[in-house]
């Protein structure tokens, strides 16, 4: 680490004075920090960690195993002790010999430890190596626990990993060479700016720490993102329906109505022209309508899945049919809105309603028999806590859901950004995707409970059926021609789980696709990027592994394949439609008013 401009080993007086001055600023800012923390918004403590029963069961299983096989316990302990003592002895020996160098073998690569000092500086290398030894010991201890339920073991592994990630030396100033170097280079200004960033994030979220991932001043919804031209042509308490302006002289007769998830906002599909699915669909010659969901406040406490179906999906389809003068539409549902679309289709089947000609699902789960990476949060202790939270607040506040998603990728979405912002004093990047990720929404209390209990825990839609709007709905009742797009590395809706649900759907015409990449990048994958490919296989009789073994890989985006399928179900070409009609005048320019409403408690 350089400590002076001329490469010398000591700070000059001017630099030392400046550093001292900035450290005084840190002290003053600390008082402001304490002030904002004293007014911190509270939430149900059960949402912070699993109840103690999980750790009690783990400890009981561990010690029971130790009593039955003490040699195994001693073996694990001695291995850990041996590595730690050997590591310390080697460092002591190097010091005694005056060799202040790190060992030749720096250990496994990890992007958290990209600074060369982690490998070349004896102090930082010692800290890193001991952390890795400790992490390995914890991981081995958890992996070796026997006699626990598989779900409980999965939860134990997740929370143990959270401890390992939190304790990384990169997360602490005294053991982070990047932060220490930056503090000296900037004469402490980076620490001042970092604390300013921390306090700003706390103040913006009523004392709750939500790390800002993107520069919020760099984007304007309806300005440089979500800027495709269109008009809101219908509005009710649940949604706005946006009709997009045609860009071709003729269009397919059958319109497309797209339902995005109401967890986050629809403009992930319209960030910028280069990767806008909305713009691309319009350019292919379709009349496109997109739903923009309301961001609910406490007055929406009793809104349930039935309201999202009746006043959302069914209302949008009804109004689109009226505007276009058609009997059928092609419907698209993304994530939770795809799950809801599938239930709506089952309800329409029961009612004899044939308004949907085909359905497309983007990363939409219907079979929740395997809870995947959300297993730690879908057990009774957490859901009991959520029920208590929504009973008190009326809604599941946006930061709680946002925090849950972030901790599934904690190093990338929590600790890494926190280090850059709070210890290095860097401004968050001007990254549209991360801006959208931070523009989160609340969830109605009743709907949250229905989803977590009825679908996630009891898997009612695929088991005995879920009772909604006077009908018992089952996945087998989804009988329209359909295409389902899943994503290979999706940690929110795993492709194998989506596949199981599609297999159970009653349609005689089903196409299943697996796109490369994850929940967002696998869907927002324009052909012009030539980035991610996709897999296809028409044989859906076997399990997911058999499907993938027999699948064909295709270079490039799945968008053109979907459009070719969609065009065959979209009727003849007609002159491009004007926006709205006499009964549906323009209420506001796209992207509408609901999308710009911020989360409120």
> Do residues 390 and 151 make contact, with C-beta atoms less than 8 angstroms apart?
no
3-class SS at 472? strand
As beta bridge partners, residue 547 has none
The structure tokens listed for 531 are 């980035």
**CA–CA distance from 168 to each of 130, 147, 163, 483, 596 (Å)?**
10, 30, 9, 43, 37
| Cα distance between residue 141 and residue 214, in whole Å | 38
Q: Is 572 exposed, middle or buried (0-12, 13-18, 19+ CB in 10 A)?
A: exposed
Q: Pairing mode, if any, of strands 395-396 and 443-444?
A: antiparallel
| Cα distance between residue 592 and residue 242, in whole Å | 7
| Cα distance between residue 316 and residue 322, in whole Å | 10
Q: Which of 335, 456, 462, 487 is catalytic?
A: 335
Biggest alpha carbon–alpha carbon distance for the chain: 89
- Which residues are CB-neighbours of 518 under 8 A, at least 6 positions away? 487, 488, 489, 490, 491
> Do residues 156 and 58 make contact, with C-beta atoms less than 8 angstroms apart?
yes
As beta bridge partners, residue 535 has 514, 553
Indicate if 335 belongs to the active site: yes
> Do residues 265 and 257 make contact, with C-beta atoms less than 8 angstroms apart?
no
> Do residues 198 and 422 make contact, with C-beta atoms less than 8 angstroms apart?
yes
3-class SS at 72? helix
3-class SS at 252? strand
The angle at the Cα of 262, spanning 258 to 266, to the nearest 5 degrees, equals 50
Element (H, E) at 122: helix 122-143
Closest listed residue to residue 301, CA positions, set 441, 443, 162, 172: 443
**CA–CA distance from 502 to each of 45, 69, 94, 359, 539 (Å)?**
37, 46, 61, 12, 12
> Do residues 514 and 495 make contact, with C-beta atoms less than 8 angstroms apart?
yes
**CA–CA distance from 337 to each of 258, 308, 333, 373 (Å)?**
9, 9, 5, 20
| Residue 308 region by backbone torsions, left for phi larger than 0, else alpha for psi between -120 and 50, else beta | alpha
The structure tokens listed for 263 are 């967890």
Q: Pairing mode, if any, of strands 552-554 and 573-575?
A: unpaired
| Cα distance between residue 216 and residue 567, in whole Å | 39
| Cα distance between residue 512 and residue 538, in whole Å | 7
Catalytic positions: 335
């Amino acid at each position: 680490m350089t400590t002076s401009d001329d490469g010398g080993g000591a700070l000059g007086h001017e630099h030392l004075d400046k550093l001292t001055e900035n450290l005084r600023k840190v002290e003053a800012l600390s008082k402001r920090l304490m002030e904002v923390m004293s007014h911190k918004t509270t939430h149900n403590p059960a949402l912070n960690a699993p109840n103690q029963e999980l750790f009690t069961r783990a400890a009981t299983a561990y010690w029971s195993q130790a009593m039955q096989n003490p040699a195994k316990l001693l073996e694990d302990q001695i291995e850990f002790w041996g590595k730690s003592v050997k590591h310390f002895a080697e460092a002591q020996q190097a010091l005694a010999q005056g060799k202040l160098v790190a060992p030749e073998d720096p250990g496994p690569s990890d992007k958290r430890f990209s600074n060369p000092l982690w490998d070349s500086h004896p102090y930082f290398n010692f800290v890193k190596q001991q952390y890795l030894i400790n992490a390995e010991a914890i991981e081995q201890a958890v992996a070796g626990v026997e006699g626990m339920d598989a779900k409980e073991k999965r939860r134990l592994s997740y929370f143990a990993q959270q401890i390992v990630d939190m304790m990384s030396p990169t997360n602490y100033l005294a053991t982070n060479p990047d932060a220490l170097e930056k503090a000296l280079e900037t004469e402490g200004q980076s620490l001042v700016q970092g604390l300013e960033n921390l306090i700003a994030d706390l103040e913006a979220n009523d004392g709750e720490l939500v790390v800002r991932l993107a520069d919020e001043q760099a984007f304007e919804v309806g300005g440089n993102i979500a800027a495709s031209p269109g008009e809101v042509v219908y509005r009710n308490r649940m949604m706005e329906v946006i009709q997009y302006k045609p860009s071709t002289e003729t269009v397919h007769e059958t319109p497309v109505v797209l339902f995005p998830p109401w967890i986050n906002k629809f403009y992930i599909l319209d960030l910028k022209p280069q990767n806008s699915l909305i713009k691309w669909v319009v350019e292919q010659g379709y009349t496109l309508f997109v739903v923009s969901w309301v961001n609910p406040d406490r007055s929406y406490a009793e809104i349930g899945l039935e309201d999202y179906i009746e006043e959302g999906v069914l209302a949008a389809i009804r109004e689109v049919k009226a505007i276009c003068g058609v009997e059928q539409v092609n419907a698209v549902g993304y994530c939770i809105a795809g799950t809801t679309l599938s239930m709506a289709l089952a309800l329409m089947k029961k009612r004899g309603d044939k308004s949907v000609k085909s359905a497309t699902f983007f990363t939409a789960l219907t079979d929740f028999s395997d809870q995947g990476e959300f297993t730690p949060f879908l057990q009774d202790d957490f859901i009991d806590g959520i029920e208590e939270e929504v009973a008190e607040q009326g809604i599941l506040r946006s930061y709680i859901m946002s925090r849950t998603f972030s901790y599934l990728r904690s190093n990338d979405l929590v600790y890494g950004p926190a280090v850059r912002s709070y210890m290095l004093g860097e401004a968050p990047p001007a990254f549209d995707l991360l801006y959208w990720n931070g523009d989160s929404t609340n969830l109605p209390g009743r709907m949250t409970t229905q989803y977590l209990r009825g679908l996630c825990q009891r898997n009612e839609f695929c088991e005995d059926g879920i009772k909604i709007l006077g009908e018992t709905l089952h996945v087998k009742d989804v009988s329209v021609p359909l295409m389902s797009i899943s994503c290979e590395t999706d940690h929110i809706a795993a492709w194998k789980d989506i596949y199981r649900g599609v297999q159970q759907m009653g349609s005689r015409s089903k196409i299943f696709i697996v796109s490369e990449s994850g929940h967002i990048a696998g869907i927002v994958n324009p052909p012009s990027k030539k980035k991610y490919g996709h897999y296809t296989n028409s044989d859906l009789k076997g399990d997911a592994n058999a499907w993938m073994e027999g699948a064909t890989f295709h270079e490039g985006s799945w968008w053109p394949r979907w459009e070719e399928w969609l065009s065959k179900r979209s009727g003849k070409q007609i002159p491009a439609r004007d926006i709205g009609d006499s009964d549906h005048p323009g209420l506001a320019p796209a992207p509408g008013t609901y999308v710009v409403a911020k989360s409120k408690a």
